[in-house]
Amino acid sequence: MTPEVLAALHSRAFAGQGRGWSAQEFGDLLAAPHVFCVTSDAGFALGRALAGEAELLTLAVDPAEQRAGHGAALLSAFEDEAAIRGASRAFLDVSAQNTAALALYRRARYHEVARRAGYYHCPGGGTADALILAKDLP
């Protein structure tokens, strides 16, 4: 997927949750060392692997394809690629208010290791905590 396609899909997937990432931001990330993207027809997972750890930067599934297992498949593909790149642990951050994403990550056996109070700014005002989740990779 091109940076433009990634940005458009990201915007649709996160509609109403704040500003989506721009094509320029995706392009800059993809040009950075250690960053990788796994894709499917339904979405993508963007990550970074370095020094034995992998970070899931974002995971987006087209709204028309959500709740059909695509997020779980992309998360698994991210973990597989991270392990190929030498990561033995994966981590991510997610809004404490994003119940669908939290359910996905917990089903995949991620667990909370930290919390950043008031990290996310909500579109209607206020803030939400960021939960830092982690998982050991096989």
Cα–Cα distance for residue pair 67/75, rounded to 1 Å: 14
One DSSP character per residue, 14-49 reads TTTSSPPPPHHHHHHHHHSTTEEEEE-SSEEEEEEE
Helix, strand, or coil (residue 70): helix
pTM of the model: 0.93
What CATH code is assigned to 3-136?
Answer: 3.40.630.30
Domain ranges within the chain, ordered by starting residue: 3-136
Cα–Cα distance for residue pair 42/6, rounded to 1 Å: 11
What pLDDT sits at residue 123? Answer: 78
What pLDDT sits at residue 138? Answer: 87
Which H or E element spans position 4? helix 3-13
Across the chain, which has 138 residues, the per-10-residue mean pLDDT values are: 96 84 97 97 98 98 94 98 98 94 97 95 87 97
What pLDDT sits at residue 121? Answer: 85
One DSSP character per residue, 94-129 reads EETT-HHHHHHHHHTT-EEEEEEEEEEEPTTSSEEE
